[in-house]
Chain A
Amino acid sequence: MGIESQNHELTGTLYVLSPLTSHLSPLTSLTTHYSLYMSKNFDYLDHLEAQAIHILREVAGQFERPALLFSGGKDSITLVKLAEKAFRPGKFPFPLVHIDTGHNFPEVLEYRDRLAAQLGERLIVRKVEDTIRRQGLKDGSGKFPSRNALQTNTLLETIEEFEFDACIGGARRDEEKARAKERIFSIRDEFGAWDPKRQRPELWDIYNGSIRKGENVRVFPISNWTELDVWNYIRREKIELPNIYFSHARDCVVTPGGQLIAITEHIRLDPEDITANREVRFRTVGDATCTAAVESPATTVEDIIQEIIETKISERGATRLDDRLSEAAMEDRKKNGYF
């Protein structure tokens, strides 16, 4: 067979192949159901919500003593909303657990207590301060003493105290590279350690929460949500948030790197410090000593969503980094220390 005729063959194939580059025509599609209209309106937030509720109900079905780790941040507040959807009119099959660093914004504590009371659910608070005293640990020191790392000790103590076999957390895979590889049901040994080598493959929506004595599971129902998804959900569900998420005037220390740290009783002010009153909001709600504020005029959820979207647009073709935004990203990473 000559090259010429081979070419003809190939051209012939071309015509066979070209219909394949278009997708199924409506005629061959099977979706002629009467609930078609309804299901066609099932959008990505509905899908994310359905997955999260499914996961929460699996936790309730598989574990004897689960807990929901509640920080007062937007992600754990979203989890609470999802738990209402999963279990009402029944009670939550788990208590809310707050690991209190003692370095909180008072607005967040006030919000926490009010929410727990509104829900009529049990709230367990365990303080890092008590762990420090009990275990003779060294408290965070320096100018901005952080208790981020110490939180883990308190969390492990609390897991032991209540014999929790599953802890639900609001971490998301888009937060950090390591998180991108963690499972939705993540098995931890007695020391709370995550062993990437022992991760269980997670297939379909079947979650394997079987564990041996001493082990426990961290469960992340909103793993597949991004920061923007969470904000869009908060908007759709009209979820109330602590007001430090929105723009307000605040006295801050401006660090040499340009970060804004709120002036609270927990940090040390030195004479050479530059202080300023700025219009700021917080992107994450963590330890007040190391959670930087960002300058922002955003006073509503709508404004914040717009800000997040615009941040992305401004990245287009950017050759220089905007310091303020990169700091915000760093804060996001710090937050991961919690889990």
Chain B
Amino acid sequence: MKVNILKFITAGSVDDGKSTLIGRLLFDSKAVSHDILHTLERQSKNKPDGELDLSLLTDGLRAEREQGITIDVAYKYFNTPRRKFIIADAPGHVQYTRNMVTGASNADLAIILIDARHGVVEQTHRHSLVASLVGIPHIVAAVNKMDLVDYDEEVFYRIAADYQKLAQKLGLQEITFIPMSALAGDNVVTLSEKMPWYTGKTLLEHLETVELSETNEEVAPRFQVQYVIRPRTEELHDYRGYAGALRSGNFRKGDRVVVLPAGIESTIKAIEVNQQEVEEAFAPQPVVLHLADDIDISRGDTIVRLDSAQPAVTQDLDLDVCWMSERPLYPGDRLLVRHNSATVKAIVKEIYHRVDVHTFEQQEAEQLKLNDIATIRLRTAKPLVFDSYKQNRSTGGLILVNDNTFDTVGAGMLHEVPVTETLQQDFAI
């Protein structure tokens, strides 16, 4: 049977039982190694009931937090016969937005923890906004600590209805509600006997079976050059291969393509995967492409199929950003933009507005501070080739880099280019 990978994040604070939930998943799926288990048993002995304290499995994180060390995302792994799981675990303190955006950028699914006693709270708004912003395909609203509300189904449905309203506001689509107690193990790995009214799957079963649109192939075919392979040996004198990953869609030998931003057309002469020629390749396969014509192509250039929807090619970018630096961002600031394998200089033209992460209200802003979410306009030194983030997660995201320290200071999700601007550009050409 084919085993694939599900990457997910857990959003919630220690108080929501996040550590216990992760501990429960790791423990019940036997991902805990001997030495850690030993420590766990020893430490849990001090507890009156002698039960294992599963939150200790993520204790390393807590200890560091107490020492005041900034940590953002820790990765944990476990697997079942059906799937390999990668958990991006971001600690849920105040400075959470930046960390969650980081973890969420690669996630297929987000578990949003809601304490059954408190229901949908401010923090739930923030977590859901980030999930919506970063476009996580699947959401699990995990109503935890059901044991503390007597496993009452009304409590669960009331919270689920509240959350549904919130999700509608944000346009979150696929939400699965699960009542659970991570501490007691209800509905995490085994179905709860205490909640017979719940007829859905356990969390683990859901994680194992949720359908992934895993290869990103239903979106338009895009390829970006990472590295040019030129052996320059006697027998391979004319070999010139463009190495990179197919970012989305698929390519076939003989496809008519256009190289952007230059706009030069050509034909795919050959595709190599794993040092062998193939007829067809699909995202996210790493490939080497060969074109029929001798064109000057270098790292960062994009190749798209001519018969597909064409990407935007522009220097004026509107984008949602999450600002990740202690140093604020002001209009007029200069930055570097890394858009996959392309790097360009950019200047901040305008901050349209920032979004209140709790009320979702748009507010005017003269600067962006750490953890702010906002919509801005950038002007780049060279045109970028992209799709809107909503259409294509693998060509619509970029990072902002400080041009002096080279630290990563922001995450950007590109908007569609307004039709009026596309027209203007066409006239300009």
A interface residues, Cβ below 8 angstroms from B: 7, 10, 13-14, 16-18, 20-24, 29-31, 33, 35-36, 38-44, 46-50, 53-54, 57-58, 60-61, 84-91, 93, 173-174, 177-178, 180-181, 196-206, 208, 210-212, 223-224, 226, 228-229, 312-313, 315-316, 318-319, 321-322, 325-326, 329-330
Contact between chains at B341 and A61 (CB < 8 Å): yes
**In the complex, residue of chain A having the shortest beta-carbon distance to the beta carbon of B226:** A57
Complexed CA–CA distance, A312 and B36 (Å): 13
Q: Contacts A196-B69, A201-B98, A318-B37 known; A208 to B406 CB distance under 8 Å?
A: yes
Q: How far is the CB of A93 from chain B (nearest CB, A)?
A: 8
Partner of A30, one of B74, B157, B174, B218: B218
Asked whether B401 lies within 8 Å of A210 as measured between CB atoms, the reply is yes
Quick check: A20 and B218 within 8 Å, CB to CB?
no
B405 touches A85 (CB 8 A): no
- Most B CB contacts (10 A, CB to CB) among A48, A84, A223, A312 go to A312
Where chain B touches its partner, the secondary structure class is mixed
Q: What separation, in Å, do the CA atoms of A206 and B106 have in the docked complex?
A: 11
Residues of B that sit less than 8 Å from A by CB = 2-5, 30, 32-35, 37-38, 41, 60, 69-77, 79, 83-84, 86, 98-99, 101-102, 105-106, 138, 154, 157-158, 160-161, 164, 174-178, 199-201, 209-211, 213-215, 217-218, 226-227, 229-231, 236, 239, 241, 243-245, 250, 274-275, 280, 282, 284-286, 299, 324, 336, 338-341, 343, 393-394, 397-399, 401, 405-408, 411
Q: What residues on B are CB-neighbors of A181 within 8 Å?
A: 71-75
Name the contact of A206 in the complex, choosing from B72, B75, B177, B398 (C-beta under 8 A).
B398
- Measured CB to CB, the nearest residue on chain A to B58 is A177
Q: Do B174 and A24 touch across chains, with their CB atoms under 8 A apart?
A: yes
| B340 touches which of A20, A93, A206 (Cβ 8 Å) | A206
Task: Give the residues in chain B near A87, CB-CB below 8 Å.
Answer: 227, 229, 243
* Residues from chain A with Cβ under 8 Å of B101 in the complex: 201, 203
Q: Which chain B residues lie closer than 8 Å to A229 at the CB level?
A: 84
- In contact, A35 and B157 (Cβ under 8 angstroms): no
CB pairs A–B below 8 angstroms (13 shown): A17-B161, A20-B176, A20-B177, A21-B199, A23-B174, A31-B218, A33-B250, A39-B250, A90-B230, A177-B74, A223-B75, A315-B30, A321-B34
**How far is it, in angstroms, between the C-alpha of A36 and the C-alpha of B336 when the chains are bound?**
38
A33-B217 in contact given A44-B3, A88-B275, A208-B399 (Cβ < 8 Å): yes
How far does the Cβ of B4 sit from chain A's closest Cβ, in whole Å? Answer: 5
State whether A212 touches B397 (Cβ < 8 A). Answer: no
Q: How long is the Cα–Cα vector from A281 to B67 in the complex, in angstroms? A: 40
Asked whether A330 and B226 contact (CB < 8 A) given A39-B214, A44-B84, A201-B411, the answer is no
